[in-house]
Amino acid sequence: MLPAWLVPLLAAVPCTWALWERRRRRAELGARTWLLEREREGAARRAVDEERARVARDLHDIVSHSVSVMVVQAGAARHGVDGEAEDALLAVERTGREAMTELRHLLGVLAPAPDGDGEAFTPQPSLAHLGTLVDRIAFAGLPVDVRVTGEPCPLPAGIDATGYRIVQEALTNALKHGTPGATAEVTVSYGRRNLRLEVLNTGPSVLTGTGQAPTESRGGRGLSGLRERVAVYGGDLDARRRLGGGYRVRARIPLERP
């Protein structure tokens, strides 16, 4: 038989154990809640960073292209006039270049470079709209020949927009850095597994050391940003000077996720 003094102690053990277990669970729940809050805050920060990067890419793709075409057109038109008209076109060209500089600063704030899909209210760009883009580039002074191989088919919206941006960026660079008389060729190849794009433009031979390099080699984010976009789909993008002159941009985008 148990001593009388031990009976109350034994009776209190379940209550003590229950109290300890409740406190342990409360502490565990608090730690778990703290971790969830940290994860939620981290996810929110990542979402903000990704959105800022997306806005920066779209600003470059849309605004930079349009302003670049305006600057080139103003510069070309300025050589055929004089007097007040020339001064006005010079002002347009200067303002356009200043806008490009401000845009680069803005992009640096929105999405700083590592070393130091359409707007919500506008339709997504599409390879089906290449005709309008080519007409705009040709009107600005760069004749473009387009060739489509394979059977055109509906593409996922992201791949379709990325393909359009690749051609747009390559033609914009060719227009900005090309020489008088330069031409460009665009090839869009629809395959069963891959979408392939190639943009070639003529220009001074690399052996002469003349001509300007495209945006990316001067620290821009156009081609490098597109390379990141293509990589998201498991593809690759190659951009380089052509030995015989001009530049080549070539991309492959898988139509199925790897």
132, 107: one domain: no
Lowest mean pLDDT among 96-105, 164-173, 189-198: 96-105
164, 230: one domain: yes
At residue 134, the pLDDT reads 92
Q: What are 174-224's pLDDT values in tens digits?
A: 888 878 888 999 999 999 899 999 999 988 765 555 544 454 444 345 777
Domain count, the chain: 2
- pTM score over 0.85: no
Residue finishing a domain among 76, 111, 146: 111
Averaged confidence pLDDT in the chain = 76
Residue 86 sits in which domain range? Answer: 1-111
Q: What are 66-87's pLDDT values in tens digits?
A: 676 777 777 777 676 777 777 7
In a domain, 82, yes or no: yes
Print the SS3 string covering the chain.
CCCCCHHHHHHHHHHHHHHHHHHHHHHHHHHHHHHHHHHHHHHHHHHHHHHHHHHHHHHHHHHHHHHHHHHHHHHHHHCCCCCHHHHHHHHHHHHHHHHHHHHHHHHHHHCCCCCCCCCCCCCCCCHHHHHHHHHHHHHCCCCEEEEEECCCCCCCHHHHHHHHHHHHHHHHHHHHHCCCCCCEEEEEEECCCEEEEEEEECCCCCCCCCCCCCHHHHCCCHHHHHHHHHHHCCCEEEEEECCCCCEEEEEEEECCCC
131, 82: one domain: no
The CATH code of the domain that includes 168 is 3.30.565.10
Percent of the chain with pLDDT over 90: 19
191, 82: one domain: no
pLDDT band at 6; cut points 50, 70, 90:
low
181, 227: one domain: yes
106, 193: one domain: no
More confident residue, 217 or 28: 28
106, 135: one domain: no
In a domain, 230, yes or no: yes
81, 176: one domain: no
132, 105: one domain: no
